């Protein structure tokens, strides 16, 4: 092997060394660099100066040489990762904050719809000829609808996907609110309130699952807490809206049709649901759901999109080439049932 004296400027880190940018030499790896260093670093030349092979670099440069190896950054350090690692490597940034805003507004619209009835009952009492008995049913019917819709929509979301179901639910919720505001009879008003509750029953559990499935493990708890704050915002918005609209006395009156202030209040309560139905179209499907369905390629595209949005890098720079779906699919095939809950008590 050819040895040469090591100039002082190279030992001080100023020289070109053998680990330069030349493309004709053998490919360097961390293992080969360390082996060359261990075998030759103490060799002395004929003039007493320290010598080393022309292909060797200083030990302090080994880590830099490793990071410069071809394909190390571009192809990724992880050839294959599980779901938790894959979502963690997407980073945390603009995508997740937009996701929080949209999912939070879904939660806000839910709360506005649930408690809006308590604000309109005094005004609707005369228009709908309500008694104490019928007012009780009118307050309760939305919760009966939520009980009926929760299980049904949850099953549909596990089959068709979270995003599609959330868009349908939000649009259905908005339409039912608008229809109830135009209802002139107690029976028709009750029907649309029940359907409104059925939509809300699915929106609640599905939106929380959808949001959580995009969160890395170390952020999941705190971000779910932030999302819960949007429920409180719903209380503030609906109370402020009722205070502004209902006492104003605005509306349309005719012998056969009434559309007064409390109906306008209901109409305005539908706006957030229409809004989130549109915003959800700009979000991707849950990658965890796609993995349970065996759509690994689509899930990988979503991971790459999230990575690019959060980091500003190219999607192909995402440091995972394959996401393992075996663990996710095994969990989906063995869901927690009501029997498991009872046994755990």
Is residue 116 within 8 A of residue 269, CB to CB? The reply is yes
Contacts of 30 (CB under 8 A, 6+ apart): 62, 65, 66
CA–CA separation, 213 vs 234, rounded Å? 24
Per-residue pLDDT at 183:
92
Contacts of 127 (CB under 8 A, 6+ apart): 258, 260, 262
Per-residue pLDDT at 249:
82
Phi-psi region at 2: left, alpha or beta (left = phi > 0; alpha = psi -120 to 50) = beta
Per-residue pLDDT at 152:
86
Structure-model confidence comparison of residues 212 and 19, the more confident one: 212
CA–CA separation, 304 vs 290, rounded Å? 14
Is residue 123 within 8 A of residue 252, CB to CB? The reply is no
Phi, psi of 99, rounded to the nearest 5 degrees: -60, -45
Averaged pLDDT of the chain: 79
Q: Tokens 């109370």 appear where? A: 239
Condensed to tens digits (0 to 9), the pLDDT of residues 113-122 reads 999 988 999 8
User: pTM (2 decimals)?
Assistant: 0.71
How many CB atoms are located within 10 Å of the residue 316 CB? 11
Per-residue pLDDT at 22:
44
User: Quick one: which H or E segment has residue 125?
Assistant: helix 94-127
Contacts of 249 (CB under 8 A, 6+ apart): 260, 261
Per-residue pLDDT at 338:
45
Q: Which residues, listed in sequence order, are joined to residue 50 by a DSSP beta bridge? A: 44
Smallest Cα–Cα separation from 269: which of 166, 200, 167?
A: 200
- Beta-strand (E) ranges in 213-338? 252-253, 258-259
pLDDT at 304 over 70: yes
Per-residue pLDDT at 77:
55
Phi-psi region at 115: left, alpha or beta (left = phi > 0; alpha = psi -120 to 50) = alpha
> Residues for the chain: how many in total?
345
Is residue 324 within 8 A of residue 294, CB to CB? The reply is no
How many CB atoms are located within 10 Å of the residue 41 CB? 15
Is residue 329 within 8 A of residue 291, CB to CB? The reply is yes
Condensed to tens digits (0 to 9), the pLDDT of residues 231-281 reads 889 999 999 999 999 998 888 888 888 899 999 999 999 999 999 999 999
Condensed to tens digits (0 to 9), the pLDDT of residues 5-63 reads 444 444 444 444 444 444 444 555 545 544 554 444 444 444 454 444 444 444 344 34
pLDDT at 290 over 60: yes
CA–CA separation, 311 vs 313, rounded Å? 5
Per-residue pLDDT at 9:
47
Is residue 63 within 8 A of residue 54, CB to CB? The reply is no
pLDDT at 174 over 60: yes
Alpha carbon of 182 to those of 134, 135, 261: distances in Å?
Answer: 19, 18, 12
pLDDT at 127 over 90: no
Per-residue pLDDT at 238:
94
Q: How confident is the model at residue 219 (pLDDT cuts 50, 70, 90)?
A: very high
Q: How confident is the model at residue 294 (pLDDT cuts 50, 70, 90)?
A: confident
């Amino acid at each position: 092997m050819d040895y040469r004296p090591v100039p002082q400027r190279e030992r001080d880190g100023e020289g070109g060394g053998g680990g330069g940018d030349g493309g004709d030499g053998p490919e360097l790896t961390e293992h080969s660099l360390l082996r060359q260093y261990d075998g030759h670093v103490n060799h002395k030349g004929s003039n007493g100066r320290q010598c080393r092979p022309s292909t060797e670099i200083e030990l302090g440069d080994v880590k830099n040489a490793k990071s410069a190896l071809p394909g190390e950054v571009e192809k990724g350090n992880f050839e294959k990762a599980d779901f938790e690692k894959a979502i963690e490597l997407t980073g945390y940034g603009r995508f997740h904050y937009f996701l929080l805003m949209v999912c939070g507004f879904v939660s806000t619209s839910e709360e506005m719809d649930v408690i809006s009835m308590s604000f309109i009952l005094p005004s609707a009492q005369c228009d709908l000829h309500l008694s104490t008995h019928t007012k009780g049913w009118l307050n309760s019917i939305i919760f009966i609808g939520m009980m009926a819709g929760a299980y049904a929509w949850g099953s549909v979301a596990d089959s068709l996907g979270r995003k599609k179901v959330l868009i349908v639910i939000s649009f259905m919720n908005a339409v039912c609110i608008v229809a109830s505001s135009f209802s002139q009879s107690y029976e028709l008003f009750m029907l649309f309130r029940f359907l409104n509750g059925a939509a809300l029953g699915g929106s609640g559990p599905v939106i929380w699952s959808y949001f959580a499935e995009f969160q890395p493990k170390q952020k999941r708890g705190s971000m779910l807490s932030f999302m819960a704050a949007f429920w409180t915002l719903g209380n503030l918005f609906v109370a402020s809206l009722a205070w502004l609209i209902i006492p104003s006395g605005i509306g349309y009156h005719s012998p056969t049709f009434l559309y007064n202030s409390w109906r306008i209040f209901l109409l305005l309560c539908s706006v957030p649901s229409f809004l989130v139905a549109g915003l959800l179209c700009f979000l991707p499907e849950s990658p965890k759901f796609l993995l349970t369905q065996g759509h690994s390629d689509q899930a990988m595209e979503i991971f790459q999109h999230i990575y690019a949005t959060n980091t500003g890098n190219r999607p192909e720079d995402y440091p995972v080439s394959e996401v393992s779906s075996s663990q996710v699919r095994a969990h989906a095939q063995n869901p927690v049932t009501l029997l498991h809950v009872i046994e755990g008590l």
